[in-house]
Amino acid sequence: MGFVRTKDLVGRLNMNLLAGEKGLDRKITTSEISRPGIEMTGYFAYYASERLQLIGRKEMSYFLELDHETRQDRLKRMFTDETPAVIIARGMEVPEEFIEAGNKYDMPIFHSPLKTTRVIGRLTNHLEAKFAPFTAVHGVLLDIYGVGVLITGKSGIGKSETALELVKRGHRLVADDSVEIRQEDYENLIGTAPNLIEHLLEIRGLGIINVMTLFGAGSVRRFKKINMIIDLEEWVENKQYNRLGLEDETAQIMDVTLPKATVPIRPGRNLAVIIEVAAMNFRVKLFGLNPAEEFSDRLTSMIEQGKHDLE
């Protein structure tokens, strides 16, 4: 199981550290957030100690009604060795007991001016992105008319050269050669470039070029949801390629199935234009329109009409 360190939250999400600096190496192993309201009453039978503990207005109001000894008891039982951190929301004043207990038990205490629900949302999104399943594939990822297109194929087949032509035509590069992919929300794949090669394209014969430097900031993106895959392959003379588009080809990356199109390469084919049209056709299908099915319906109608005329 993956994890992040509590120290990764310092300075992020509009939170400041108030106490427990020695505990910043604690592990966060889940994106779930706990609000320890019932624990404030003394019931710890099902205390989710492995989660971040978020103190909102209700929890704090109840805590302030307790006497000094009871407050110390609640904090001692809450601040376990496996609890990553405690976050106090809404910019509320932090009681001295929290500061003292945080430093005593090396429990990081964070303070946020945001509303409790806003803190939960931001923390959950941040941690889910950190814990998302991850892989890397060899290919090129571009944003073409708002569609995330992952171009794959054997090394040297022309993926980067095709990407360069697409960038010249106004589309945006996300990653070349290696695309890092994380799975979010069970069905979304988000692609990014490794830091080492961000904004770079390798063109055989020219070497490495910086796309943002040559074409401007509008020619690149840091990340993009992957919507479809275009697989480039050398033309095989006797192979039957999809000519009508009635058969939907798919490919799977981690747990997500994506539409895929195999494009054969041979002299005279403009790959940039073909990939542009594939992206536009994908958008058209999102609106419920399918040119291949429309053609098939027309053909069937003509055949039926021909049979009727013969009768």
| Feature table: binding site for ATP | 153-160
The alpha-carbon radius of gyration of the chain (Å, integer) is 28
| Feature table: binding site | 153-160, 202
Q: Which of 138, 168, 169, 269 is catalytic?
A: 138
| 48 burial type by CB count under 10 A (0-12 exposed, 13-18 middle, 19+ buried) | middle
Q: Quick check: 51 and 33 in contact, CB under 8 A?
A: yes
Task: Specify whether 177 is catalytic.
Answer: yes
| Feature table: binding site for Mg(2+) | 160, 202
**Helix pair 271-286, 159-168: axis angle to 10 deg:** 70
Task: Specify whether 243 is catalytic.
Answer: yes
Placement of tokens 């571009």 in the chain = 142
Task: Specify whether 204 is catalytic.
Answer: no
Q: Which of 26, 143, 171, 177 is catalytic?
A: 177
Q: Which of 26, 51, 111, 159 is catalytic?
A: 159
What is d(CA 8, CA 236) in angstroms, rounded to the nearest whole number? 51
Q: Quick check: 184 and 128 in contact, CB under 8 A?
A: yes
| 165 burial type by CB count under 10 A (0-12 exposed, 13-18 middle, 19+ buried) | middle
Task: Specify whether 138 is catalytic.
Answer: yes
Q: Which of 68, 204, 239, 243 is catalytic?
A: 243
Tokens of 170: 């106004």
Please list, in sequence order, all residues whose beta carbon lies within 8 angstroms of the beta carbon of residue 69, skipping any fewer than 6 positions away. Answer: none
Closest Cα to residue 188, out of 255, 99, 235, 96?
A: 255
What is d(CA 189, CA 258) in angstroms, rounded to the nearest whole number? 10
Closest Cα to residue 190, out of 234, 236, 130?
A: 130
**Helix pair 96-104, 68-78: axis angle to 10 deg:** 40
What is d(CA 245, CA 266) in angstroms, rounded to the nearest whole number? 20
Catalytic center residues = 138, 159, 177, 243
